[in-house]
Amino acid sequence: MSVIEAVTFDLWQTLILDDRELGRARTRRRLEGSLGALTDAGYAFQFEQLQEAYRSCFRACRVIHSEGKDLTFDEQVGMFINNIDEGLSQRLDSQIVEQITYWYAEAFFEFPPPVAPEAYKVLEEVRGMGYSVALISNTGMTPGRLFRRYLAQQDILDFFHVLTFSDEVRLCKPSTEMFHMTLEELGTTPDKAVHLGDHIQNDVLGANRAGMTSVLLGTAEGQEKVADPHLQVLTLGEFPKVLERLFR
């Protein structure tokens, strides 16, 4: 087994823990804020129209993600606006588009997913072992720039040497290129890197295809078993011990 130089982490359900209730609250805030901006500008759209536009945007993004690609955040917001009414983004004043973009993003901070209780200690231990550390994350409806802000607020941003967000590189896990560009920026190679994440397809399959050692967090209950991890830990807190035992 190669000497390990770098460790990469997933974000959602690995370092931050989201749930459906928080997700629904963020969605409602995005739609309420966007509707308010449009109403103030003199448009008479209904909440249900924005709701359907949002769902259409979500479905379209899933198709794009299935191809290993992603949109920039501004492109995603533009898609949402045009799903409300065809060509609406071109007709709106730029200030209204900015307001909608603001609410679409900032809803995250009104209903943020909490950081995993063990995250700080685990990142501290992994950095203390001398590894280069990176984050590789699909961003969904929240832009990478907000994640940076949030991670800074939680005092864990500085643990990472590199952060790769899907909306910024227009790639989506399990894209091999997304893993490889992160490792290249770290100055290492796949055979010398370990990736930890909770998602079988995005994290395990993605890391395996990239030539990395994959570590599955949790049981992956309910997920399609499209790949087998090299290693598995049931809790985040176990991960540093696995690194210490197997790679030191």
| pLDDT recorded at residue 164 | 98
Confidence of residue 248 (pLDDT cuts 50, 70, 90): low
**Angle subtended by helix axes 119-128 and 239-247, to nearest 10:** 20
Question: pLDDT for 14-70, tens place per residue?
Answer: 999 999 999 999 999 999 999 999 999 999 999 999 999 999 999 999 999 999 999
Confidence of residue 246 (pLDDT cuts 50, 70, 90): confident
Is residue 2 over pLDDT 90? no
| pLDDT recorded at residue 82 | 98
Model-level pTM? 0.96
Question: pLDDT for 124-148, tens place per residue?
Answer: 999 999 999 999 999 999 999 999 9
Residue type, 134: A
Where residue 2 falls (left for φ over 0; alpha for ψ -120 to 50; beta otherwise) is: beta
CA atoms within 13 A on the CB side of 208: 15
Residues 135, 159 contacting (CB under 8 angstroms) = no
Residue type, 48: E
Q: Which two tokens stand for residue 124?
A: 């501290």
| pLDDT recorded at residue 1 | 53
